[in-house]
Structure 1
Amino acid sequence: MKKSDFAILVLLGALWGASFLFMRMGASQFGSMALAGMRAIGAAICSIPLLASRERLAELRANWWPVTLIGLSNSALPFVLFSYAAQSLPAGLSAIFDAIAPLLVAASGWLWLGEKLNASRACGLVIGLAGVVWLIGGSMGFGHGGAPVGWAMAACVGANVCYTFGTHYSHRRMQTVTPLTVAIGSQFAAAIMLLPFTLWFWPAKAPDAQAWIAMLGLAAGCTSLAYVLFYRLLAHVGSARAMAVLYLIPVFGVIWGATFLREPVTLAMAGGCVVILLGIALTTGMLRLRGVTRAWGTVEKA
């Protein structure tokens, strides 16, 4: 990997990790629905220059329905769910929960789509899910003042379930469509879907300057710019290496939360993060258990 590509990888991890910081800063004043809507609308506006292509517009018109479904599952619903969670969960903890998407993708592919799962990936699933249980076990439960922490964690898991559906759907239905077209079109679809809810749930008290800055950073940096960087990285290094960004998101999420919001890094958070990242490394094939794989292969042949 070139130094420039590595720099983009780190920047992308920092941007997506910062999204949890910005949601934490803005959700209490905007509310989950209005913040999610403004994020999608702002990202769509920033992406308008990228639509100045007849080929891209033609692709969008020809694939408007699947692009809309991806906009719902990969943007609109996760934006709302993570914004809801940000009202009660620390930014770092939300970022750690965001890392479970690859585990859900692998598990659902194995259970319902008949995808093969070797011993190493199976171990990764078990380890990763154990990390999630670790985090939840160290939480406050489902009924502690304000927005219940337990339901906020459930919202994070729900957002990742949406990502899982979007990943499988994109892989099966959108392989002939330019990835950047899907990214831009899905943001416009999310913005249109969330617009009426944004207006309906607009806060009675105007958000302060800090909340507006957080929203702008969320829309322009963590969504619009991040998507452009991600698809540039995909084109240069391929999907396998680009997916390494998943390891950086929770790390940066914890760093930004601790640095700017003075969030404590608890033993449950640190331990859960390490266990989940280990599970992801095994599940995605970036780390393999050679001995276990050989033993598994022997059992299969028998």
Structure 2
Amino acid sequence: MSRFASTMPSTTTPQAPAQTAPRPTAAPSTASVPVMRWLPEFVVLAILWGASFLFMRLGASQFGPVPTAGLRVALAALFLLPVMLLRGEWPALRAHWRPVLFSGLINSAIPFALFSYAVVHMPTGMASVLNAAAPLFGALVAWLWLGDRITPLRAIGLLMGFAGVALLALHDRPASTGGGWAAYTAIGACLCASLSYGIAASFAKRYLVGVPPLATATGSMIGAALGLLLPTIALWPVQTPPLSSWLAVAALALLCTSIAYILYFRIIQTAGPSRAIAVTFLAPVSALLYGNWFLAEPITAWMVGCGAIIIGGTMLSTGLIGAKKA
């Protein structure tokens, strides 16, 4: 979307300024956006996405992984659609429906199903910690695809954050409820989901710049719901899950998906994809707390130390510290 207008032929007509190509090229200026313009939303998003692992566990243990993901995106779409229509953003979605719906597959349907599977076989805090690999994948994809520069400080921050994740994962091996291969498939599911997030962040920056965040969030939920519709029907549980599981999935859909995705796409537009996806460095901190409070998952001194490394890496990789004067 952002590059198409610039390829129009330039004939002898001097009236060619009618092209509106310069607008999308404002993307690189995200490096100079003041931190306080996106930091509050960044912190709220980390809190919401940390809670999503708890709600996924409560839902997937009764619904199953795929129906949990399918119900999550369907409810989110139903919540967001009337809000989007009232805000008058339907024309924006209609104009960009193809990339928006596709973004729902790689940014919601695939990772949601994979993480819903993973949290059934490992502690929720551990799944969120593995999700913190997403900024590393996101930075690499942005570098390969968008030509996004990785400065020395950002590289140190990314490596620092990933080192904190690796230290935590290696020290506290995933206690799989099934044992054996279930733990390794759960780890693989988390890493594949994180890679999908990394690809989706650059896809949004490449094709969805200028699309209002609410239209993007709504359309992506519709795309994800369509993609998961048949698998959800096929794998729907025979026995009706209890009310607590329905409430968990409802909270997952409304708080951790609908509201969270509006914030996420806003941060992508104001601060860039690499900073937006770095929220997954902070989400494990809140996820570990939720797991401890509600599921009795232990928090050790090692976890706290690794959490400090992860937060330091986040601050470096997003420019919270060490950034040059704008």
Question: Which TM-score band (shorter chain)?
Answer: 0.7 to 0.9
1:51–1:57 CA contact under 8 A, matched in 2: yes
Structure 1 segment 44-55 matched on structure 2, within 5 A: 44-52=77-85
- Write the distance in 2 (CA, Å) between the matches of 1:47 and 1:35: 18
Structure 1 segment 68-217 matched on structure 2, within 5 A: 68-111=101-144, 113-138=146-171, 139-140=173-174, 145=179, 148-217=182-251
**Deviation at residue 213 of structure 1 after TM alignment:** 1.4
* Offset from partner CA, 1:34-86 (integer Å, 9 cap, x none): 10000001101111212325952222222121112210111111110110111
Higher relative contact order (CA 8 A, sep 6+): 1
| Residues 17, 280 of structure 1: alpha-carbon distance in 2 compared, 3 angstrom cutoff | same
* Offset from partner CA, 1:175-204 (integer Å, 9 cap, x none): 132222111100011111111111101112
- Write the distance in 1 (CA, Å) between the matches of 2:226 and 2:111: 15
**Deviation at residue 151 of structure 1 after TM alignment:** 1.9
1:102–1:284 CA contact under 8 A, matched in 2: no
Report how many residues are paired. Answer: 288
| Aligned-pair Cα RMSD in Å | 3.2
2:132–2:162 CA contact under 8 A, matched in 1: no
SS in 2 for 1:205: coil
| Residues 140, 177 of structure 1: alpha-carbon distance in 2 compared, 3 angstrom cutoff | closer
| Residues 140, 213 of structure 1: alpha-carbon distance in 2 compared, 3 angstrom cutoff | closer
Task: Say whether 1:249 aligns with 2:309.
Answer: no
**Deviation at residue 284 of structure 1 after TM alignment:** 2.0
- Write the distance in 2 (CA, Å) between the matches of 1:29 and 1:126: 37
**Deviation at residue 134 of structure 1 after TM alignment:** 1.9
2:130–2:191 CA contact under 8 A, matched in 1: yes
**Deviation at residue 111 of structure 1 after TM alignment:** 4.5
Scaled by the length of structure 2, the TM-score of the pair is: 0.77
1:100–1:280 CA contact under 8 A, matched in 2: no
- Write the distance in 2 (CA, Å) between the matches of 1:154 and 1:246: 17
Scaled by the length of structure 1, the TM-score of the pair is: 0.82
- Write the distance in 2 (CA, Å) between the matches of 1:115 and 1:227: 23
